[in-house]
Structure 1
Amino acid sequence: MTAPTLPPHSSPDTPANATGARTGTGTPAGAEASGTSLGPTLHTQVITWFDDHARDLPWRRSDAGAWGVMVSEFMLQQTPVSRVLPVYEQWLDRWPRPADLAKEAPGEAVRAWGRLGYPRRALRLHGAAVAITERHGGDVPTEHAQLLALPGIGEYTAAAVASFAYGQRHAVLDTNVRRVLARAVTGVQYPPNATTAAERRLARALLPEDEGTAARWAAASMELGALVCTAKNESCPRCPIAAHCAWRLAGKPAHDGPPRRGQTYAGTDRQVRGKLLAVLREAHAPVPQPVLDRVWHEPVQRARALDGLVADGLVEPLPGGLYRLPLT
């Protein structure tokens, strides 16, 4: 994800040359202690770098509000900023408040989602808007527990909104932050494929005590992972904490954990689902089955993809072999 700019405030297996026992969850024992002792240095240098290099993005501006931050967090999951920007701006122009989206049919959210991918996010964002309108008077709640109770919102999104929109002290662990901590503190090239309890403990141990500084740290460490400490072709000469980075100081040992998951698209059910949804998004009336049949040449895969869209609530079947985006 891409953290907003807040107002300024006054793991894989152990590398061969690492020491210390493992915790059993992907982080060497002692990493939390070393991370805590190094914390103030990391905070100061990364936040200072962030003040100079943070990108100017619409969800980082003061007028974005908590709703703008929440929308950006949904859209930025597994989707690059360049693809999100036009959809985000159109979305907020059309639905500047949760109540505006809540009034619409879920299918309109799916239609406006366009080609961002993973369209169930649109349904979840719509569901969250409905819940915010019904439970919280149309205002995005400020408390982490209330955010977490909204449909479609998990631990990461709740922490991100609480931190980025409200300046609260939470460990915000997206892929970028996890990679920065894995390299700088744990001394490995990549974090585990899935977030571990050890990573959460380390992130909490590294949080500055001051609430405002903690929110700045969350935003700054995320930006560092997005721009400098990237998954490939990391730019250590530009990194403000290169002199303290455990992975760099160890000679950048190669990743020796489980294979990293690659993402394929061509020929997959995801591609077929995307093609089917593209037809339905452009349609202003229910679409007959024969029109959808022309989308993909392989009938078994096409039927499986369509059935999956129906099961996920993204497509509504009608009598007579017609299909449309959902109205309820």
Structure 2
Amino acid sequence: MTASPSSSPDVSPEVSREVSREVSRDLTPDASAGPSHALHSPVIAWFEQHARDLPWRRPEAGPWGVMVSEFMLQQTPVSRVLPVYEQWLARWPRPADLAAEAPGEAVRAWGRLGYPRRALRLHGAAAAITERHGGDVPREHAQLLALPGVGEYTAAAVASFAYGQRHAVLDTNVRRVFARAATGVEYPPNATTAAERRLARELLPGDEATAARWAAASMELGALVCTAKSPDCARCPVAGLCAWRLAGKPAHDGPPRRGQTYAGTDRQVRGKLLAVLREAVGPVPQAVLDTVWNEPVQRARALDGLVSDGLVEPLDGGLYRLPQTRPGA
């Protein structure tokens, strides 16, 4: 995909087109030579020097540790994930260890990471790995994608980070780096597009080892340097190639970016209800749950949603608990 910087009052269309052509010459793969362009070496070299020492990047983490980290890191910062990750792997060092316990224990251990359905999905994936693959996280992308709760991103990330395979790994950080460096816009679209996937494939190095390193390096660059609110272009190893910077950093002119409102939402109420159930040693009466939120209609809606999502089990007598059986089991 050729770069297409956004229009800006400070940059004429002719200049923008010229910037686009210059960046495109660096980024468009040469079919005769295989995918190779100017971004790879500086980004990977920067990563080798500045990558954070994270436990899921260490060899001892193994594929299971990588998979656990990918579930936890979705929409959750590293600082919040680290303590829960360490406790999780200490308790469940293998998929079979997690699969042997009730799904409610996964929800309990998930704590306050947020989006607790991820805990149920990870438990379901662990059960499937145990039943279908002898307890070993599969290597094949198609087999990973067939696991419950594993989507395109997670399958590509595990295949790349755990097994060193060649896959385009597109998370929010990578999408932002590519949007700025290659496409010349400040932010990517709200949802991943076919054009972004095509660009990611075009930017993917040809050999597996370099492709896997590139996936991790471009993600780290977005997390540490090319951040959403305060990009540090002075520290960026590809600032001289960045289409957005060369075009004068045109302001975002697309749809409004989605916020992360929490206070007063059903999400907050769900979190409060789950907090009571996580701390309880047995089933919790409805009357206790009624004390966590004053608005009865919203509280009932949140509780019904938790039951519908399989995060809470209703019992006779107006009692509730974390789930003890796997959905469909």
The C-alpha deviation readout for 1:121-151, integer Å capped at 9, x for no partner, is 0000000000000000000000000000000
Is 1:247 the counterpart of 2:244? The answer is yes
Q: Deviations over 1:236-255 (max 9, x none)?
A: 00000000000000000000
Query: Does 1:36 find its partner at 2:28?
Result: yes
Residue 55 of structure 1 corresponds to 52
Is contact 2:4–2:184 with CA below 8 Å preserved after alignment? no
Distance in 1 (alpha carbons) for counterparts of 2:193 and 2:213:
23
In the other structure, the counterpart of 2:178 is: 181
How far apart are residue 39 of structure 1 and its match? 4.8
Q: Which residue of 2 aligns with 1:280?
A: 277
1:32 and 1:205 in contact (8 A); partners too: no
Structure 1 segment 196-211 matched on structure 2, within 5 A: 196-211=193-208
Checking the alignment, whether the CA contact within 8 Å between 1:113 and 1:119 is kept in structure 2 is: yes
Identity %: 82
2:216 aligned residue: 219
Residue 45 (str. 1) matches residue 42 (str. 2): yes
Q: Does 1:313 align with 2:305?
A: no
Describe the SS at the equivalent of 2:263: coil
The letter for the 2-side match of 1:85 is L
Answer yes or no: is the 8 Å Cα contact 2:23–2:243 preserved in 1: no
1:89-112 deviation per Cα after TM superposition (whole angstroms, max 9, x unaligned): 000000000000000000000000
SS in 2 for 1:314: coil
Whichever residue aligns with residue 256 of structure 1, its letter is: D
Correspondence 1:129 to 2:121:
no
TM-superposed CA distance for 1:35, in Å, is 2.4
**Residue 17 of structure 2: aligned partner:** none
Q: Deviations over 1:133-170 (max 9, x none)?
A: 00000000000000000000000000000000000000
> What is the CA-CA distance between 1:315 and the residue it aligns to?
0.1
Residues 162 and 32 of structure 1, relative CA distance in 2, 3 Å threshold: farther
Q: Does 1:303 align with 2:276?
A: no
- SS of the equivalent of 1:111 reads helix
Residue 230 (structure 1) aligned with residue 227 (structure 2): yes
Structural RMSD (CA): 2.0
Contact 1:156 1:173 in 2 (8 A): yes
Paired letter, 2:7 = P
Equivalent residue, structure 2, for 1:190 = 187
Choose which of 167, 179, 183 in structure 2 pairs with 1:170. 167
Match of 2:292, SS?
coil
Q: Does 1:145 align with 2:142?
A: yes
Contact 1:12 1:257 in 2 (8 A): no
Question: How far apart, in 2, do the equivalents of 1:50 and 1:242 lie?
Answer: 15
Under a length normalisation based on structure 2, what TM-score does the superposition of the two structures give?
0.91
| 1:12-23 pair list within 5 angstroms | 14-16=6-8, 17=11
1:41 CA drift (Å): 1.6
Q: Is the 8 A contact 1:105 1:327 kept in 2?
A: yes
Give, in whole Å, the separation in 2 of the partners of 1:279 and 1:18.
Answer: 59
**Unpaired runs of at least 5, structure 1:** 1-10, 21-27
Shift of 1:14: 3.6
SS in 1 for 2:37: helix
Indicate if the aligned counterparts of 1:12 and 1:255 stay in contact, CA closer than 8 A: no
2 CA distance for matches of 1:94 and 1:100?
Answer: 8
AA at the equivalent of 1:184: A
Match of 1:67 in 2: 64
**C-alpha separation between the residues in 1 aligned to 2:308 and 2:254?**
35
Aligned equivalents of 1:210, 1:44: Cα separation in 2: 14
User: 1:323 is paired with a residue of what secondary structure?
Assistant: strand
Distance 2:37 2:57 in 1: 24
The correspondence of residues 85-164 of structure 1 with structure 2, limited to 5 A, is 85-164=82-161
For each residue in 1:283-303, what CA deviation from the matched residue of structure 2 results, as whole angstroms up to 9, or x when unmatched? Answer: 011000000000001000000
Q: Confirm or deny: 8 A CA contact 1:50 1:220 kept in the other structure.
A: yes
Distance in 1 separating the partners of 2:24 and 2:130: 40
CA contact (8 A) 2:179 2:188 kept: yes
TM-score, with normalisation over the residues of structure 1? 0.91
For residues 271 and 30 of structure 1, do their structure 2 counterparts lie closer, same or farther at Cα, with a shift above 3 Å needed?
A: farther
Q: What's 2:255 paired with?
A: 258
Deviations 1:270-319 (A, max 9, x none): 00000000000000110000000000010000000000000000000000
Show structure 2 runs of 5+ residues with no match. 15-19, 30-34
